[in-house]
Amino acid sequence: MTVRETGAVDADGGVLGEEVRRQRALDLGYRYLGKRDRTQAEVRRHLEARELDKASIDDAIEALVRQGYLDDARYACMFAEDRRRLDDWGPERIERRLLALGVDGEHVSAALADRDGAGDLDAAVALLRRRLGDATPENERERERALRMLVRKGYDLELAYDAVRALAR
C-alpha cells in the first residue's frame, strides 16, 4: 500500500505527520456527527471511505467516544424510542435496524428492554385503532390484513394476534 493510498499525503504531495492525520480524521468525524447522531460503525465506515489510515480512524473514534459524541448505547435507546413513537415500529424491526447499523447486540437488548411487553401490546392496539378507525376486523380476511400490517411494522406474530384480539373486545 502506498502513502497516497493511505490518505497520508498533503496537497503538495508531502507525507503528513501522524498527528495531522489523526486531527484530520477527528475533524471529519466531528463534521459527520454534526448532522445527526451516528453509531461507531457508521463513523468508521465514513472515515474509511475517506481513505484514512486505520490508526487515525481508531484514534478518532476513541476520542469521540471519550468526549461523549459517540455513544452506541444512547443511540440505541433514542433510536428505539423514536421509531416506536414516530413510526410505530415494533421491537423486532427496531432490533434488525440497529444491528444493521452496527450497534452491539448488548446495547440493542438494553434499548428494547426499556419497554415491557404490555407497552408493546398497547402500542400495537393503538396502531390498529389509528389505521382501522372504528372498524374492527370482522372476518378472517380483515384479521389477516391487520396481522400482516403489525408483523411488517416489526411486532411479534403472537403479540400481533393478542393485539387483534384485544381490539375486537
- Which amino acid belongs to residue 58? D
Q: Which CATH number fits domain 18-70: 3.40.50, 1.10.10, 3.30.70, 3.30.420?
A: 1.10.10
Lookup: cell for 68: 461523549
Q: What is the pTM of this model?
A: 0.75
- Which amino acid belongs to residue 124? A
Specify the pLDDT at position 120. Answer: 85
In contact, 94 and 120? CB cutoff 8 Å: no
> CB neighbours of 59 closer than 8 A, spacing ≥ 6?
22, 25, 26
The answer, yes or no, to whether residue 79 has pLDDT greater than 60, is: yes
In contact, 8 and 21? CB cutoff 8 Å: yes
In this structure, of 66-70, 90-94, 131-135, the range with the lowest mean pLDDT score is 131-135
The pLDDT tens digits of the residues spanning 105-117 come to 999 999 998 665 5
The answer, yes or no, to whether residue 3 has pLDDT greater than 80, is: no
pLDDT level of residue 11 (50, 70, 90 thresholds) = low
The answer, yes or no, to whether residue 77 has pLDDT greater than 70, is: yes
Helix (H, G, I), strand (E, B) or coil at 9: strand
The answer, yes or no, to whether residue 38 has pLDDT greater than 50, is: yes
Specify the pLDDT at position 53. Answer: 92
Q: In the chain, what are the domain boundaries?
A: 18-70, 73-168
> Can you tell me which residue has the cell 468526549?
67
Region 157-165: mean pLDDT is: 90
CA separation for the pair 137, 144 (Å, rounded): 9
